[in-house]
């Protein structure tokens, strides 16, 4: 009887491992918002890690995280390192930028689980303002594939992106309205 139970347990484990291994390796999480503000104003909040404290959802999640900045003060080569109880440890480096169009970041997550992903903020003009898209692309390790079977990462991270974009929208539109008011 014990042998049958062990065989069934091994069979279940093998099937589970196969199911996890067959899950897609590549992932993309993306959210967008339309912001009624000049692209230059929005871009300034994205291209400078120092400005992220005003809108990033991760600032609210772990306000006591230790943050250090190095490299360029803003733009390509700017580096942001963080260590926090809730955030873990990671490093972000701006690797590409096109003024008022794109900020691309290499995101290196160290703890609690190691991963390297690409984050992009794209800005595209629209009739209503600027469409700002926050995306993250990468490859899932076996452990992340297994975790993804229990937690919908698109929904989890997507909610954080939505929150950050909403704060970026509020901040940028408030600045734009103050600029218009000063013009009169």
pLDDT tens per residue across span 144-158? 666 666 666 777 778
Indicate whether this model's pTM tops 0.85.
no
Q: Do the Cβ atoms of 161 and 55 come closer than 8 Å?
A: no
Q: Which of 26, 77, 23 is nearest to 48 (CA)?
A: 77
**For 95-125, what is each residue's pLDDT tens digit?**
999 999 999 999 999 998 888 999 999 999 9
* pLDDT for 178 beyond 70: yes
* pLDDT for 183 beyond 70: no
Q: What is the pLDDT of residue 179?
A: 67
* pLDDT for 160 beyond 70: yes
Q: What does pLDDT average to over the chain? A: 87
Domains and CATH numbers, the chain: 26-183 (3.30.530.20)
Q: What is the pLDDT of residue 142?
A: 64
Query: What is the rounded CA–CA span in Å between residue 46 and residue 105?
Result: 10
């Amino acid at each position: 009887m014990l042998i049958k139970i062990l065989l069934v347990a091994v069979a279940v484990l093998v099937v589970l491992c196969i199911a996890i291994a067959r899950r897609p390796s590549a992932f993309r999480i993306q959210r967008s918002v339309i912001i009624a503000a000049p692209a230059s104003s929005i871009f300034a909040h994205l291209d400078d890690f120092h400005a992220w404290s005003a809108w990033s959802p991760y600032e609210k999640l772990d306000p006591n995280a230790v943050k250090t900045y190095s490299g360029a003060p803003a733009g390509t080569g700017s580096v942001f390192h963080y260590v926090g109880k809730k955030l873990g440890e990671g490093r972000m480096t701006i690797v590409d930028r096109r003024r008022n169009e794109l900020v691309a970041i290499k995101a290196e997550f160290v703890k609690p689980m190691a991963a390297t992903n690409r984050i992009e903020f794209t800005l595209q003009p629209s009739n209503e303002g600027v469409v700002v898209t926050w995306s993250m692309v990468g490859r899932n390790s076996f452990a992340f594939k297994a975790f993804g079977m229990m937690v919908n990462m698109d929904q989890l991270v997507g909610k954080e992106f939505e929150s950050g974009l909403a704060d970026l929208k509020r901040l940028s539109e408030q600045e734009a309205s103050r600029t218009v008011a000063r013009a009169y």
